[in-house]
C-alpha cells in the first residue's frame, strides 16, 4: 500500500428515516433534533474539529436533507469545510461510507453516525491512529441492551468477531457509531452483499478485516455515549449534557425570579417574578416565561418561546413554541413552531411527543 497522507478527514452520516422518533422526524432528519439547544450532529462536527479534522463530508438523504445544507452551509461558521454527498436511498452504513471514496482520497478518516453523542474527546485517539499501522480502530461501550447494537466479542485482548444485533450476545460491548478507518476499507466495501435488512453492513466489512488478520484496535470508553434512536435516548442525552452547563444570563429582564442550580439564559429573555427556574436548565434567546411557570430541572427551552402557567420537567422544548396550559409537562419533546393552549383549567401531568408545527388545544 502506498504511503498515506499524514492527516485525517471526517465523515458524518446524516441519512436514515428516524422511524423510532416519529413524529419528530416527519419534517426533517433526526440528526438536526436539538440536544441542549444544539443539533446532535453539531456535536460530531465539534468533536472532529477538536481533533484537528476540518475537512468533513456529510452524507445526506431522505426527508429534509436540504435542511442540513441550510443549517451548516459551507461549515465556515463552525470553522470547518463541509462537502455534501447524496445517498439516494438508505442502503446501509457501509454503502454511505463507500460514496465518500473520492472525498477521502489517500487519507485516513473517521466516521461519525450523526445521531451519536459522546462526551469523550477523540483528539488523542485520532493522533494515535494516524501514527499507527492499524487498519481500523473502534470505540466500544458497555451497554445494558447489547441485542440492539453491533456487538464485539473479545478474546485475549483482540476483537475476534462482530455481530449485528445478536439474539444471544457474546458480550455487552457495543460497537459505537464512531469508526477510524483507512482507504483500504473501500476495496472491501465493494465486495459486500446486502444483509437480511437489504443494507450493506459495516460490521460485515469489519469482520472481513478480522478474518484477513488485519490489525483492528479498540478502546472501551468510560465516558457518556448514546445512540439517540428513541425519544427516551434523546431526553437522557439532553439531561447528561445539561450537567455541563455554566450559569449565565446577559441582557435579560429577570424581575427577581426564583433561580436555583445551574441555569443558562439567552439574550433578550424575560422571566417574571412569580416564576421558578430549577437547574440544570438551558433557555434560549428572546423567550417570555411568566404567570407562575416552573421550568426544570433537566430542561432545555429553544429561542423565541412563550411559556405561561406551566411546569416543564426533564423535557426539550424547541424554538418558537407557545405553551399556555396549567399542566405539568414531563419527559416530553416538543418540536419547533408548536402551540399548546388551554380551553379550561385543569392541573395534572402530561407527556408529549409533538412534531413540527403542532397545534394542540386541551
Last-in-domain residue among 208, 242, 276: 242
Mean pLDDT rounded to a whole number for the chain:
84
Final residue before a domain boundary, out of 219, 242, 265: 242
Q: What is the pLDDT of residues 95-116, one digit of tens each?
A: 999 999 999 999 999 999 888 8
**Confidence (pTM):** 0.84
- 142 and 165 both lie in a single domain: yes
| Nearest-angstrom CA–CA distance, 356 and 362 | 18
Residue 308: which H helix or E strand, with range?
Answer: strand 306-308
Q: Minimal CA–CA distance to 245: which of 266, 221, 267, 273?
A: 266
pLDDT at position 182 over 90: yes
Cis amide linkage into residue 170, ω under 30° from 0 = no
On whether both 255 and 233 belong to a single domain, the answer is no
Asked whether residue 54 falls in the same domain as residue 172, the answer is yes
Say which CATH number the domain at 103 has: 3.90.550.10
Residue 37, pLDDT > 50, answer yes
Element (H, E) at 290: strand 288-290
Nearest to 27 by CA among 67, 61, 59: 67
The pLDDT tens digits for 5-24 are 567 999 999 866 555 555 55
Neighbours of 231 (CB within 10 A): 19
Looking at the fold, whether 75 and 223 belong to one and the same domain comes out as: yes
State which of 242, 263, 288 marks the end of a domain: 242
Number of domains the chain is built from = 2
Task: Say whether both 322 and 220 belong to one domain.
Answer: no
Which of 72, 59, 1 shows the shortest CA–CA distance to 202?
A: 59
Residues 6+ apart with CB under 8 A from 124: none
Within 10 angstroms of residue 267's Cβ, the number of other Cβ atoms is: 12
- Domain CATH for 329: 2.160.10.10
Beta strands of 53-209 (E only): which ranges? 55-60, 81-86, 107-113, 116-118, 136-142, 150-155, 158-164, 173-181
Q: Can you give the pLDDT at residue 310? A: 87
For residue 308, what are the domain limits? Answer: 248-361
CB 185 within 8 A of CB 136: yes
Q: Which residues pair with 59 in a beta bridge?
A: 13, 85
Give the mean pLDDT of 306-320: 91
Q: How much is the average pLDDT of 168-182?
A: 88
pLDDT computed for residue 356 by the predictor: 62
Residue 76's pLDDT band (boundaries 50, 70, 90)?
very high
Q: Is the pLDDT of residue 59 over 80?
A: yes
Q: Tell me, what's the pLDDT at 344? A: 46
Q: Which residue has the cell 416565561?
A: 289
Res. 198: pLDDT tops 50: yes
For the CA atoms of 236, 241, 246, 249, the dihedral, rounded to the nearest 10 degrees, stands at -70
Residues 43-70, mean pLDDT to the nearest whole number:
89
| In a shared domain, residues 237 and 269 | no
The strand pair at 299-301 and 316-317 is best described as parallel
* Claim to verify: residue 144 and residue 201 sit in the same structural domain: yes
Q: With a cut of 80, say whether residue 322 has pLDDT above it.
A: yes
- In this prediction, residue 63 has a pLDDT band, given cuts at 50, 70 and 90, of confident
If asked whether residues 230 and 302 sit together in one domain, one would say: no
Reported as a pLDDT band with limits 50, 70 and 90, residue 151 is confident
Looking at residue 118, what is its pLDDT?
Answer: 82
Name which of 293, 283, 290 is nearest 326 in CA terms: 293
* Lowest-pLDDT choice from 21-30, 62-71, 214-223: 21-30
DSSP state of 253: B
Is pLDDT above 70 for 249?
A: no
Q: Are 277 and 352 part of one and the same domain?
A: yes
Q: Are residues 165 and 288 in the same domain?
A: no
Do 90 and 176 reside in the same domain of the chain?
yes
Amino acid at each position: 500500500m502506498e504511503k498515506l497522507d499524514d492527516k485525517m478527514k471526517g465523515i458524518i452520516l446524516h441519512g436514515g428515516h428516524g422511524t423510532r422518533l416519529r413524529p419528530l422526524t416527519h419534517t426533517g432528519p433526526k440528526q438536526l433534533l436539538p440536544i441542549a439547544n444544539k443539533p446532535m450532529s453539531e456535536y460530531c462536527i465539534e468533536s472532529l474539529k477538536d481533533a484537528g479534522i476540518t475537512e468533513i463530508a456529510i452524507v445526506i438523504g431522505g426527508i429534509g436533507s436540504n435542511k442540513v445544507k441550510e443549517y451548516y452551509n459551507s461549515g465556515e461558521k463552525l470553522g470547518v469545510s463541509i462537502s455534501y454527498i447524496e445517498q439516494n436511498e438508505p442502503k446501509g452504513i457501509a454503502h454511505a461510507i463507500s460514496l465518500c471514496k473520492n472525498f477521502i482520497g489517500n487519507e485516513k478518516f473517521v466516521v461519525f453516525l450523526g445521531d451519536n453523542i459522546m462526551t469523550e474527546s477523540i483528539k488523542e485517539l485520532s493522533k494515535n491512529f494516524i501514527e499507527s499501522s492499524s487498519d481500523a480502530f473502534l470505540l466500544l461501550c458497555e451497554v445494558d441492551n447489547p441485542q440492539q447494537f453491533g456487538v464485539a466479542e473479545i478474546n485475549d485482548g483482540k476483537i475476534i468477531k462482530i455481530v449485528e444485533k445478536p439474539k444471544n450476545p457474546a458480550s455487552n460491548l457495543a460497537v459505537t457509531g464512531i469508526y477510524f478507518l483507512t482507504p483500504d476499507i473501500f476495496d472491501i466495501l465493494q465486495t459486500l452483499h446486502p444483509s437480511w435488512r437489504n443494507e450493506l453492513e459495516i460490521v460485515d466489512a469489519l469482520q472481513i478485516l478480522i478474518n484477513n488478520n488485519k490489525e483492528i484496535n479498540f478502546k472501551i470508553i468510560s465516558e457518556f455515549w448514546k445512540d439517540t434512536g428513541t425519544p427516551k435516548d434523546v431526553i437522557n442525552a439532553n439531561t447528561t449534557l445539561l450537567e455541563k452547563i455554566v450559569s449565565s444570563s446577559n441582557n435579560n429582564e429577570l424581575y427577581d425570579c426564583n433561580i436555583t442550580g445551574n441555569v443558562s439564559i439567552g439574550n433578550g429573555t424575560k422571566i417574571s417574578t412569580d416564576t421558578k427556574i430549577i437547574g440544570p436548565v438551558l433557555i434560549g434567546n428572546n423567550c417570555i416565561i411568566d404567570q407562575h411557570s416552573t421550568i426544570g430541572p433537566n430542561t432545555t427551552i429553544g429561542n423565541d418561546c412563550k411559556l405561561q402557567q406551566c411546569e416543564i420537567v426533564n423535557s426539550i422544548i424547541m424554538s418558537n413554541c407557545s405553551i399556555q396550559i396549567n399542566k405539568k409537562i414531563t419527559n416530553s419533546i416538543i418540536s419547533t413552531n408548536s402551540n399548546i393552549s388551554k380551553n379550561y383549567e385543569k392541573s395534572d401531568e402530561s407527556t408529549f411527543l409533538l412534531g413540527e408545527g403542532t397545534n394542540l388545544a386541551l
